[in-house]
Amino acid sequence: MKISGRFLAAAILIAAICPSTEAQSESFADFRNKVLNEFNEFRSSILENYDKFLEGAWKDYDQIKGVKSNPVPKPRTAPTVSNPDAPVTKTSPAVSTPVASKPQANVYPNKTKTPESQTQAQPDNYTQKTPVAKPTTAADDLPASANGTDRFNMAGIQLEVPHIEYNISRRLANTHEFGAHWRGLAKTSLASQLIPEFRNLAEKHGFNDYLTFMAVNAYVDNRFPQAHSSSRKSLVHFLMANMGYDVRLGTNQTGTAMLLIPFNQMVFAHPYLNINGKKYFIFADENVDLTKPDNLRISTCALPSDADAGKPLDLLLKELRLPEKPYRYNISFGNITLTGELNQAVMPLLYRYPQMPTADFAKSAILPDVRRQIVSQLKTQLSGMEEKTAVNTLLQFVQKGFEYSTDEDFHGFEKPYFLEETLFYPKNDCEDRAIFYTYLLWEVLGIPNQLICYPGHESASVSLSTPVKGISYSHSGKTFYISDPTYIGSVTGQCMPDFEQTAPEIDFTYK
């Protein structure tokens, strides 16, 4: 019996709208469970036959270079208003109208095309200029296996799962060995005993799909450090596939194994394969240079076109719950001060996080308690201010409370911050400030606003209840005024001169 994801969705929808005679004799919940059970049986059959797919035909795919979301370089220093005391005189007729596509230098005001929200992010690469200190705990010196558990380190976090006796091949040399390896793993208790433990770890610590994948990798690398990548990646593939993910196994021309992963989000500046119109991003051991000729063509087994190989991984993050390692932050400018503690144990986990769209960095919440702290403090300090004054006070706090540096200069690679990282690192750039500022505009002042993107620059705009002079655009019947946390000394309505005649792209809207 073949049941696709589309069939499952259609069956449930039809049952909900127009129940069949059979469904009428039983509750909808029973009928839905029946359909889901049939789907799970089909899914199990795919896993049960995966060894045959691995032993079957493998197809070569050319590596596709990672896509940069914004190829224009950022300024090395933050632009400053030339005359901070000059009044804002430009008015809304001299505006840029945001459009759905990337803005071009020759896009001018008074365009009538309706803007559409899009996402942006910054690229990832593989060098590190300013490493984050590795957190340590008392468990660092404990043996890998002790008291019936396997202990392993993931970015400074000590994790453990119950010890299960099994072995893996030292090296896999061909497709038949990959298939035999899968069959051997399927005969163990890994699927029934180890996978639930990783799900428990994810639930306990707030790991999303990607961090769960990181945990599985860390476990395998710790458990079998001497095994070849072909065997270790084969084990990770087995575990992730049995957890319901569409993680695929690939090899380069010399037998180095890699994992091929689809995501719900775009991942920028990361190489991938296009398999049947779907992006599978390439993940290999840290010592593998994906730019070398040996890695420019990668093979993976051919699955049936109607096979449901699992779900893509999600990169959005919610609350992370990790052992506490307090870090004290203190950020001040003028009469505004933010002070408190955050758990710096999360920082190494986030340091090399895949470069997803800017909107998804804005949507993710890592430490909700810290966010509540800063929102509460700012509400108190901005209380009683007139709307425009409160907005500009918050704007100039973000402009001048942090030191500006491009990620390339500070980290050695492009790294957008989650909001919590802005409180941790002493330097930041435009997208970090824009993510931080737009969140506070909405959560502290309740001001509708947008994250917007220009070539080489991330900024913000606000919708005010009272019009002001300056650069603005219309979106969904509202006027949004440029309010740029990286244009030092500017007030709401002032736009960097280079972008006054450029249409910004909307990344995310708070409303």
Q: Rounded to whole angstroms, how far apart are CA atoms 190 and 44? A: 15
- Rounded to an integer, the average pLDDT of 427-444 is 98
Residue 203 · residue 142 · CB < 8 Å: no
- The 10s digit of each residue's pLDDT in 6-41 is 444 444 444 444 444 444 445 655 555 544 444 444
- Average pLDDT of 200-228? 97
Name the band, by pLDDT with cuts 50, 70 and 90, for residue 82. Answer: confident
Q: Is the predicted pLDDT of residue 2 greater than 80, yes or no?
A: no
Q: Are residues 363 and 293 in the same domain?
A: no
| 212 shares its domain with 344 | no
Q: CA–CA distance from 189 to each of 160, 239, 243 (Å)?
A: 17, 11, 14
Residue 316 lies in a domain: no
Task: Please give the distance of CA 247 from its chain centroid, rounded to a whole number.
Answer: 17
Q: Please give the pLDDT value at position 307.
A: 80
Ranges 72-81, 91-100, 277-286, 297-306: which has the least confidence: 91-100
Q: Are residues 334 and 393 in the same domain?
A: yes
Q: How far apart are CA 155 and CA 142, in angstroms?
A: 16
pLDDT, tens digit, 9 for 90 and up, residues 342-380: 999 999 999 999 999 999 999 999 999 999 999 999 999
With CA atoms as reference, report the closest residue to 484 among 474, 473, 475, 496: 496
Total domain count for the chain? 3
The helix (H) or strand (E) run that includes residue 282 is strand 278-283
Query: Residues 133-148: what's their mean pLDDT?
Result: 45
Q: Do 283 and 386 belong together in one domain? A: no
Q: Is there a domain that residue 475 lies in? A: yes
Mean pLDDT over the full length of the chain: 85
Do 165 and 292 fall within a single domain? Answer: yes
Q: How confident is the model at residue 85 (pLDDT cuts 50, 70, 90)?
A: low
CA distances from 97 to 107, 248, 299, 478, 492 (A): 9, 43, 45, 12, 17
Say what the pLDDT of residue 146 is.
61
> What domain range is 30 assigned to?
5-42
Query: pLDDT tens digits for 226-285?
Result: 999 999 999 999 999 999 999 999 999 899 999 999 999 999 999 999 999 999 999 999
Together in a domain, 354 and 424: yes
Element (H, E) at 274: strand 272-275
Q: How many CB atoms lie within 10 A of CB 120?
A: 23
Tell me the CA distances in angstroms from 218 to 52, 158, 384, 434, one per residue in order: 28, 10, 51, 34
Query: What is residue 106's predicted lDDT score, i.e. its pLDDT?
Result: 25
The predicted structure's pLDDT at residue 90: 66
In a domain, 320, yes or no: no
Q: Answer yes or no: do 151 and 273 share one domain.
A: yes
Model pTM greater than 0.95?
no
Instruction: Place 391 in a pLDDT band, splitting at 50, 70 and 90.
Output: very high
241 within domain boundaries: yes
Q: Is the pLDDT of residue 131 over 50?
A: no
Please name every residue paired with 327 in a beta bridge, in sequence order, or none if there are none: 342
Hey, what are 419's tokens? 């909001």
Q: In whole angstroms, what is the distance from residue 489 CA to residue 392 CA?
A: 10
